A and B are shown apart, each in its own frame.
Chain A
């Protein structure tokens, strides 16, 4: 026969029919002989019955529509983000290409000779950017 403490640890799983059949029948046999464990089993079953007394809540009638609307809004947002990303990548690539073309075609000196920010040709994008930064920080 199992010790009561060991049986009581398994009582919840016994009530829930979650024990393997041999263990289940061992506990069943023990309960037939032990008043104390039977009492414990009864009180756990009562707790189970009490839990059944909590009534179900119903969702508001607009619940499903709201969920669908939120999903639709997210979907739109996702498309916009995707397109924005594509356009941003394309724009940055074009900028790099324009700078590269201007440098290789000799419209202004190659950047490898640059030593500081003042060396950027003023008509290049980098030169314009640095000029703007200076204007702002004045």
Chain B
């Protein structure tokens, strides 16, 4: 919706609800998954995504077509996610050594003796989500924006109001952190 987005946003700014629905339908998946990977909680992620869309509707008049709509949308989402954590409204999942060992044992066991690859994958995703959630918030935001939403380092630096080299360092430290926590599975 790159070319049409400024027209759609102009309609949204005038209070057009069907134009707003078009935006919601276009971005609901990516936004929900961004919030989900950030919070590790689907209900909280849905709340955040709903709040982001409501803010888009409320502030549609402030949208400048010079900036990419997706960047603007994810900037709102990032601010909301960071605020949610600061307000301690979200339960933060931190990785637990016991959890990791127990899950690690299960994963290894299923690898050798069980054909249930799906269960194993689900367990691994859960552990990975926990590891992701235990990363410092800025590292997590930078990594998620790049990995899952395809933003370049330059775009992320604009969204997070920092330099490109800071983004480079955040993403690198995020991967290092994950590597450390996920070493039994690598």
Contact, CB under 8 Å: A54 / B125: yes
In the complex, A12→B50 CA distance in Å? Answer: 33
Q: Which of A43, A53, A57 contacts B36 (CB 8 A)?
A: A57
**CB–CB B32/A63 < 8 A:** yes
Q: Give the Cβ gap from B32 to chain A, nearest Cβ, in Å.
A: 5
Cross-chain contact of B147 among A44, A51, A66, A70 (Cβ < 8 A): A51
Interface residues of A in 24-46 (CB under 8 A from B): 43-44, 46
> Does B24 contact A47, Cβ atoms closer than 8 Å?
no
- Looking across the interface, which residue of chain B has its beta carbon closest to that of A9? B172
A50 and B45 CA atoms in complex are apart in Å by 22
- Chain A: residues with Cβ within 8 Å of the partner, total of 32
**Which among A71-79, A83-91, A98-106 touches the partner chain?**
A71-79
A59 at the interface (CB under 8 A from B): yes
Task: Tell me the nearest residue of chain A to B154, going by C-beta.
Answer: A18
Stretch at the interface among B52-60, B75-83, B93-101, B105-113: B52-60
Q: Are A18's CB and B147's CB within 8 A?
A: no
Interface residues on chain B, number (Cβ under 8 Å):
42
- What residues of A have a CB within 8 angstroms of the CB of B25 in the complex? 64
Number of CB contacts from chain A to chain B under 8 A: 104
Q: Which of A44, A59, A70, A74 contacts B29 (CB 8 A)?
A: A59
**B179 beta carbon closer than 8 Å to chain A:** yes
0/1 string, B59-94, CB within 8 A of A gives 1: 000000000000000000000000000000000000
Q: Is the CB of B186 within 8 A of A64?
A: no
B6 CB–A CB distance under 8 Å: no
Chain A contact surface mostly: helix
**A-side contacts of B148, CB under 8 Å:** 51
- Note all chain A residues with C-beta closer than 8 A to B179: 43-44, 47
**Alpha-carbon separation in the docked complex, A43 to B37 (Å):** 22
In Å, the complex CA distance between A6 and B19 comes to 49
Which residues from chain B contact A47 at a C-beta distance below 8 Å? 175, 178-179, 182, 186
Tell whether B149 is near chain A: CB-to-CB under 8 Å. no
Chain A min CB distance to B30 (Å): 9
Collect the chain B residues with CB atoms within 8 Å of residue A133's CB: none
In the complex with contacts A13-B172, A16-B153, A18-B168, A68-B125 CB distance below 8 A: no
A67 and B171 form a contact (CB under 8 A): no
Cβ-based interface call for B163 (8 A): no
A58 within 8 A of B: yes
Identify the B interface with A (CB < 8 A). Answer: 15, 17, 20-21, 24-25, 28-29, 32-33, 36-37, 42, 45-46, 49-50, 53-54, 57-58, 121, 124-125, 128-129, 132, 146-148, 152-153, 168-169, 171-172, 175, 178-179, 182, 185-186
